[in-house]
C-alpha cells in the first residue's frame, strides 16, 4: 500500500516535470557576429582574422556539439582587444597560459594524491597495531596532517623553499628570493630560506601556492612515518609537539639543502660532484628523514611492554586488521603516482614528458619490492607473510623515490628487488640487534630504504633524462657509477652522511627537549589498558568483542604494573 502511494507520488512528480519540460522552450540566442578585422593589419593577424571568420559561430555551437568537432578552436583564444580580434600576441599569451595551466594541473593533482597517502599511512599503521590502541593510532595519523600543515605554513615552508625562485614550470616563483648563504673558501653555500612566512606579502602568489601545497604534503608524509614507529605508547600531547617541531624545523632544513637551493644541491656547481646531491622525489628528504627521526624517538621512548623478554629475545605483537594494512598499501601505491611523477612540478616543458617513465619506474619497483619480500619470507618461513609483502611494496616505492627520475625500467626493477629483501633484513636487524621496537617497520621501510634509494641514484642513474638540459645548475644528465660518473656517487654519500650525522642528531636533541618538557611515554597503566580509553576517551570499535591478549603480553603487563 505504501509502495502504491509512493509510486503514485513519484508518477505525479514525473508527470509535472515532463509537463514543465514541454511547456518550456529554450530560446536560441542570436548568432554573434564574427569579429571584424581592422583594415591595415600585419599578415599574421590577417590570417588569424580569416580563421576566426571561418570558425563556428555561437549559433552553430548552440545546436550542440556531441562529437567535440567544433569546440576548442581559435574561438577560445581570448582577444586582448575585442575590436581587433585575435592577434598573434594573443595566441602567444594563451600558449604561455596553457603551459602554466597544464603544469599547475599536474602539480596540484599529484599533490592531492600525495595528501591522500595520509589515509594509507593511517590504515597501514593502525592495522599493524593492536585493537586496544586503534583509536589512538588512527588519531595520531589524523592529527599529524593538521599539526604539520600549520607549522609548515607558519615557518617550515619559508625555511625550506624561501630561496627557490626560478622554476620556469610554475611561472618563475619570483617572490621566493630569501635564501641565506654562507661563504666558505670562496664558495657560496645556501643554508636556509626566509621568504614565505604565513604565505603573506609577496608570496601571496598563485605559483607559490602551488609549490606550497606540493611541498607541504611531502613534509606531512615524513611526519607520519614517526607515528608508526612510536605507536601504542606515544603520549598524544608529546606527539603533537614533536610533530609540529619536525614540520617547522627538522624537515625544512634538510629539504632546503636538497631542494631549496641549499648546499647539498650545490655540490655539483661548487665541488664538481656530479650534478650535486640528487634526490628526485625524496627517498632522502622525506623517507630517510622520517625514518631516522623515528629511530631517534624510538631510542628515547623505548619498547612496548611485552615486546622484549628479560633475556633480550623478542615476542611477536600481531596487528589487528590485515585488511586495513593491505588496502592502506594500495592507497599508498596510488598516492605514490603523485609522489614521484609529480616531482617534475610540471608536464609541459623540455624533458618533463618523462613523467610516464617515472610512473612506470615507480610501479615496477613496488612490484619487485613485493616479490623480494614475498620470496624471502616464503623461503625463510615456508609461508607467505602478508604484512611483510606490504612492507616490501612500500620499501620498493621508498627506494625508487630518489632515482625514479633518472633510471630505466630495468634499473627500477633492480632497485625494488634489493629493497624488498633489504626491508626484511633490516626489520630483523632493528628488532634483534638494535633491540628497537618498531611496531610497523617504519625505520626499515623508510629509513633503511630511503638511504638505499639515495645511494642507488649514484649507481644506476643512466644519463638519459633531460630536465631542461641541466640539474642543480650543472649541464648534462644525472649519471651514476655504473654509467660512468663516480662523482655522482660521492655527492650521494655526502647526502647520506648528512642524514645520519646531522638529521639524526638534531632530531634526537629536539626530542630530548620534548621528553623533558612533555614526556614522550604514556604511563604504564595507560599502556596496559590500551591508549584508547585513557587518552582518547573512546574505543576504536566499541561494540565488538575481542579475545584476551596472548599470555606473554598478559604476564609482561602484570610485571610492569607491579614494578
| 3 state SS of 296 | helix
Window 158-187: contact mask with a second copy (x via CB under 8 A): x---x--x--x--xx-xx-xx-x-------
Which range of residues in 259-267, 282-290, 490-498, 533-541 is near a second copy by CB under 8 A?
A: 533-541
CB closer to a second copy, 303 vs 550: 550
Task: Give whichever of 433 and 545 is closer to a second copy, judged by the CB atom.
Answer: 545
Pick the stretch among 198-206, 271-279, 451-459, 493-501 that binds a second copy (CB under 8 A).
Answer: 198-206
Among residues 33, 310, 311, 543, which is the contact residue for a second copy, using CB under 8 A?
543
Q: Are 368 and 413 in contact (CB under 8 A)?
A: yes
3-state secondary structure 368-436: HHHHHHHHHHHHHHCCCCHHHHHHHHHHHHHHHHCHHHCCCHHHHHHHHHHHHHHHHHHHHHHHHCCCC
Among 34, 73, 302, 493, binds a second copy (CB under 8 A): 73
Contact status: 547 vs a second copy (CB under 8 A): yes
177 burial type by CB count under 10 A (0-12 exposed, 13-18 middle, 19+ buried): middle
Q: Is 138 in the site for a second copy (CB under 8 A)?
A: yes
- Among positions 262-291, residues that touch a second copy (CB under 8 A) are none
Distance (Å, whole) CA 388 – CA 359 = 23
Establish if 347 lies at the interface with a second copy (CB under 8 A): yes
**What is the closest distance, in whole angstroms, from the C-beta atom of residue 415 to a second copy in the complex?**
14
Question: How many chain residues interact with a second copy (CB under 8 A)?
Answer: 206
Q: Does 69 bind a second copy (CB under 8 A)?
A: yes
| 405 CB-contact burial (10 Å; exposed 0-12 / middle 13-18 / buried 19+) | buried
- Give the residue among 311, 343, 141 at the shortest CA–CA distance from 223: 141
Q: Which residue from 205, 215, 279, 527 is in contact with a second copy, where contact means CB under 8 A?
A: 205
Could you tell me if 402 and 278 are in contact, meaning their C-beta atoms sit under 8 angstroms apart? Answer: yes
Residues 416-455 that bind a second copy (CB under 8 A): none
According to the binding rule CB under 8 A, does residue 195 interact with a second copy? yes
365 phi/psi in degrees, rounded to 5: -65, -35
Shortest separation between residue 296's beta carbon and a second copy, angstroms: 17
DSSP per-residue letters across 230-286: TTTTB-HHHHHHHHHHIIIIIHHHHHHHHHSS-GGGGHHHHH--BTBS--SS-IIII
With contact defined as beta carbons under 8 Å apart, do 100 and 167 qualify?
no
Q: Which residues of 272-299 are buried (b: 16+ CB within 10 A; e: fewer)?
A: ebbbbbbbbbbbbbbbbbbbbbbbbbbe
User: Under the criterion CB under 8 A, does residue 208 sit at the interface with a second copy?
Assistant: yes
Shortest Å distance, C-beta 209 to a second copy: 3
> Does residue 15 touch a second copy according to CB under 8 A?
no
Identity of the residue, 378 or 434, whose beta carbon is nearer to a second copy in the bound complex: 378
Query: Considering beta carbons, is residue 77 or 278 the nearer one to a second copy?
Result: 77
Question: What is the length of the chain?
Answer: 563
Window 229-268: contact mask with a second copy (x via CB under 8 A): -------xxx--x--xx--xx-------------------
Nearer Cβ to a second copy, position 212 or 277?
212
Closest of 177, 214, 513 to residue 341, by C-alpha: 214
Shortest Cβ 253–a second copy spacing (Å): 12
**Separation of alpha carbons 446 and 546, rounded Å:** 32
Could you say which residues in the range 90-129 bind a second copy, by CB under 8 A? 91-106, 108-109, 111-113, 115-116, 118-119, 122-123, 126
- Min. distance of Cβ 418 from a second copy in angstroms? 16
Amino acid at each position: 500500500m505504501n509502495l502504491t502511494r509512493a509510486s503514485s507520488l513519484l508518477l505525479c512528480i514525473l508527470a509535472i516535470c515532463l509537463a514543465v519540460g514541454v511547456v518550456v522552450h529554450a530560446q536560441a540566442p542570436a548568432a554573434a557576429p564574427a569579429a571584424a578585422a581592422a583594415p591595415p593589419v600585419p599578415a599574421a593577424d590577417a590570417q588569424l582574422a580569416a580563421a576566426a571568420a571561418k570558425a563556428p559561430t555561437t549559433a552553430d555551437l548552440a545546436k550542440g556539439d556531441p562529437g567535440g568537432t567544433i569546440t576548442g578552436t581559435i574561438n577560445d583564444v581570448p582577444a586582448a582587444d575585442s575590436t581587433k580580434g585575435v592577434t598573434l600576441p594573443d595566441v602567444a599569451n594563451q600558449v604561455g597560459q596553457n603551459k602554466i595551466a597544464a603544469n599547475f594541473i599536474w602539480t596540484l593533482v599529484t599533490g592531492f594524491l600525495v595528501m591522500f597517502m595520509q589515509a594509507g599511512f593511517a590504515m597501514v599503521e593502525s592495522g599493524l597495531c593492536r585493537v586496544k590502541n586503534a583509536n589512538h593510532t588512527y588519531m595520531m595519523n589524523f592529527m599529524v596532517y593538521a599539526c604539520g600543515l600549520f607549522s609548515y605554513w607558519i615557518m617550515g615552508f619559508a625555511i625550506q623553499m624561501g630561496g627557490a625562485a626560478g622554476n620556469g614550470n610554475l611561472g618563475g616563483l619570483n617572490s621566493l628570493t630569501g635564501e641565506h648563504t654562507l661563504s666558505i673558501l670562496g664558495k657560496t653555500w645556501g643554508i636556509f630560506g626566509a621568504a614565505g612566512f604565513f604565505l603573506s606579502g609577496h608570496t601571496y602568489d598563485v605559483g607559490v601556492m602551488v609549490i606550497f601545497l606540493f611541498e607541504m604534503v611531502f613534509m606531512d608524509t615524513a611526519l607520519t612515518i614517526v607515528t608508526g614507529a612510536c605507536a601504542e605508547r606515544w603520549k598524544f600531547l608529546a606527539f603533537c609537539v614533536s610533530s609540529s617541531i619536525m614540520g617547522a624545523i627538522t624537515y625544512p632544513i634538510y629539504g632546503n639543502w636538497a631542494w631549496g637551493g641549499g648546499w647539498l644541491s650545490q655540490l655539483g656547481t661548487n665541488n664538481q660532484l656530479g650534478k650535486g646531491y640528487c634526490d628526485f622525489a625524496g627517498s632522502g628528504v622525506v623517507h630517510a628523514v622520517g625514518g631516522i627521526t623515528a629511530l631517534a624517538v624510538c631510542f628515547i621512548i623505548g619498547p612496548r611492554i611485552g615486546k622484549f623478554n628479560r633475556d633480550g629475545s623478542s615476542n611477536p605483537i600481531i596487528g589487528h586488521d590485515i585488511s586495513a594494512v593491505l588496502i592502506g598499501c594500495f592507497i599508498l601505491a596510488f598516492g605514490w603516482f603523485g609522489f614521484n611523477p609529480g616531482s617534475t612540478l610540471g608536464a609541459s616543458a623540455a624533458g618533463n614528458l618523462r613523467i610516464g617513465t617515472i610512473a612506470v619506474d615507480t610501479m615496477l619497483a613496488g612490484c619487485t619490492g613485493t616479490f623480494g619480500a614475498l620470496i624471502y619470507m616464503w623461503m625463510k618461513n615456508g609461508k607467505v607473510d602478508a604484512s611483510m609483502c606490504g612492507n616490501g611494496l612500500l620499501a620498493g616505492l621508498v627506494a625508487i623515490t630518489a632515482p625514479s627520475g633518472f633510471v630505466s625500467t630495468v634499473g627500477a626493477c633492480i632497485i625494488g628487488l634489493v629493497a624488498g629483501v633489504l626491508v626484511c633484513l633490516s626489520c630483523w636487524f632493528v628488532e634483534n640487534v638494535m633491540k628497537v621496537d618498531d611496531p610497523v617497520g617504519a625505520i626499515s621501510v623508510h629509513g633503511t630504504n630511503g638511504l638505499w634509494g639515495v645511494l642507488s641514484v649514484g649507481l644506476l642513474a643512466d644519463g638519459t633524462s633531460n630536465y631542461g638540459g641541466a640539474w642543480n645548475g650543472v649541464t648534462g644528465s644525472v649519471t651514476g657509477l655504473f654509467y660512468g660518473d663516480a662523482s655522482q656517487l660521492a655527492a650521494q654519500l655526502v647526502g647520506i652522511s648528512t642524514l645520519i650525522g646531522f638529521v639524526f642528531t638534531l632530531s634526537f636533541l629536539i626530542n630530548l627537549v620534548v621528553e623533558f618538557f612533555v614526556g614522550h611515554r604514556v604511563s604504564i597503566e595507560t599502556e596496559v589498558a590500551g591508549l584508547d580509553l585513557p587518552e582518547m576517551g573512546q574505543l576504536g570499535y566499541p561494540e565488538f568483542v575481542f579475545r584476551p591478549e596472548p599470555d606473554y603480553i598478559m604476564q609482561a603487563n602484570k610485571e610492569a604494573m607491579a614494578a
